[in-house]
Amino acid sequence: MPSQTVLITGGSGGIGYELAKLFARDHHNLILVARSAEKLAQVANELQGYGVTVKTVTLDLAEGPAPKFLFDQLQREGIAVDILINNAGFGAFGEFAQMHHQEILGQINLNIMALTQLTRYFVQPMLSRRHGRIMNVASTAGFQPGPLMAVYYASKAYVISFSEAITNELRDSGVTVTCFCPGATHTGFAARAGNNNSRLFKKMGAMSAEKVALDGYRAVMEGRTLAISGMHNWITAQSTRIAPRRVVTAVSRWVSERVE
């Protein structure tokens, strides 16, 4: 495949960083967006070693105008994005009624608002060119309600539903949309969420970010509509479709609970 330009939100760490590495190895140019300029500079420095250009944009995508600012800046610079990876996202552990408003809105702004706006802005030039790929990183969390991480699980349910719906609308347009669902993965996510002592992360085991990113990379390049990383995660996701909702919700809570 000829060299493409790939925009990855949250490309400085975790799954986004591993995805960036895979794209760089295959000679694709990168635009990486995150809040920490220092981490972005480190990653850019490393990935330029693959002979690709790496542009970094330091931006908090949870800030309202940030998605439009990013799109306008790239338009002004005449940079066409061939592949958009909406990866940046975070979760917060705790009961909803006690959760700080800032944590609640932060998750909605980043996981839902920014992802939706970036998709809307970047899909337009892709449609004009009749060529483009979008990958929205959801989670296996999106397949069931998630007591103790209610907003995060609901935000990922939105990403799955939204992505599948627009895949249908965009068929035959030349633009593919892939919804990628990792399960628990070793990254900075759990520490940020405050759930690294959960049964899920402590007892059930998480996948490596390298392996998860490779699954995501293959999924977006094949233009798959929905991809779940890991056979055990696929089986768990399927089980939520047949078990009673009340049982699914109770099991989901048990998995999220903190253990010694």
Ligand X SMILES: NC(=O)c1ccc[n+]([C@@H]2O[C@H](COP(=O)([O-])OP(=O)(O)OC[C@H]3O[C@@H](n4cnc5c(N)ncnc54)[C@H](OP(=O)(O)O)[C@@H]3O)[C@@H](O)[C@H]2O)c1
Count the neighbouring beta carbons within 10 Å of the beta carbon of residue 162: 18
Q: Is 258 in the site for ligand X (CB under 6 A)?
A: no
Helix (H, G, I), strand (E, B) or coil at 208: strand
- The H or E element containing residue 211 is helix 209-222
Q: Is 39 in the site for ligand X (CB under 6 A)?
A: yes
Count the neighbouring beta carbons within 10 Å of the beta carbon of residue 166: 19
What are the angstrom distances between the C-alpha of 161 and each of 36, 50, 69, 140, 156?
A: 30, 36, 26, 13, 9
Q: Is 6 in the site for ligand X (CB under 6 A)?
A: no
Q: Which of 55, 131, 192, 253 binds ligand X (CB under 6 A)?
A: 192
- The H or E element containing residue 164 is helix 150-169
- How many residues form the binding site for ligand X (CB under 6 A)? 30
Q: Which residue number, 3 or 58, has a Cβ lying nearer to ligand X?
A: 58
Q: Is 184 in the site for ligand X (CB under 6 A)?
A: yes
For residue 121, indicate whether it is catalytic.
no
Beta bridge partners of 135: 85, 178
Work out how close the CB of 9 gets to ligand X at its nearest, in angstroms, rounded to a whole number. Answer: 6
Q: Is 205 in the site for ligand X (CB under 6 A)?
A: no
Q: Choose the catalytic residue: 17, 21, 121, 152.
A: 152
Q: How far apart are CA 115 and CA 117, in angstroms?
A: 6
Q: Is 198 in the site for ligand X (CB under 6 A)?
A: no
Site for ligand X in 99-138 (CB under 6 A): 110, 137
For residue 152, indicate whether it is catalytic.
yes
**Residue of minimal CB distance from ligand X?**
14
Residues noted as catalytic = 152, 156
